[in-house]
Amino acid sequence: MILTFYRTVLFLLLFLFLFGQGIVRAAEIDWYITNTTDEDGRPIRSDATVFNCSDQIYTMIWFSDLRDTTHTLIVDWIDPSGRQREHTVHNFRYFGNPASIWAWLTLHPPRGAIALRLFNPSIGMREFIGIWTVRVTINDQILGRSKFEVLC
């Protein structure tokens, strides 16, 4: 009985080793928030967690070793009141090479506030000031949440 069990387990392991390499993969995914870009306009990692109302704020996602298929990446930007301000959905096909995707948040003042912002940058931007949350999801799995602060 025990010998039959071990043979079955050994057979299953051998089967997975020979035929399962495309089925199971350990994906590597890294992501971060930044307001810094390189000379080509690609977001680069920085230690900043406090941003200005006029900053363009990026979420950069790096990945490799995903399954060679179509994936859905979602980035949600949630303001200090808990309201979802932006919802970015990006469908992409992974072909085996390390790749990156980024989403960004740009805060826009209401109409009529632009001229007044010359005197006080926070005019019309009060609802944006505070702790924001960005949530990153790939294929309906939450990769994580990160918080950052917006000040004017």
Distance CA 92, CA 7 (A): 41
Burial class (CB in 10 A: 0-12, 13-18, 19+), 73: buried
Distance CA 100, CA 47 (A): 19
At 20 the pLDDT is: 40
State which amino acid sits at residue 62.
Answer: W
How confident is the prediction along the chain (152 residues), in pLDDT tens digits per residue? 554 444 443 444 444 443 444 333 568 999 999 999 999 999 999 999 999 988 999 999 999 999 989 999 999 999 999 999 999 999 999 988 899 999 999 987 666 555 554 555 556 678 899 999 999 999 999 999 999 999 98
Distance CA 27, CA 140 (A): 15
Q: Is 98 left (phi over 0), alpha (psi -120 to 50) or beta?
A: beta
At 48 the pLDDT is: 94
At 129 the pLDDT is: 93
DSSP state letters, 18-65: HH-TTT----EEEEEEES-B-TTS-B------EEETT-EEEEEEEEES
At 120 the pLDDT is: 57
Q: Decide if 133 contacts 146 (C-beta within 8 A).
A: yes
Tokens encoding 148: 């950052």
Distance CA 137, CA 131 (A): 20
Question: Which helix (DSSP H) or strand (DSSP E) does residue 141 occupy?
Answer: strand 141-151
CA atoms within 13 Å, Cβ hemisphere of 60:
17
At 98 the pLDDT is: 92
At 12 the pLDDT is: 41
Tokens encoding 59: 């979420």
At 108 the pLDDT is: 75
Q: Decide if 95 contacts 35 (C-beta within 8 A).
A: no
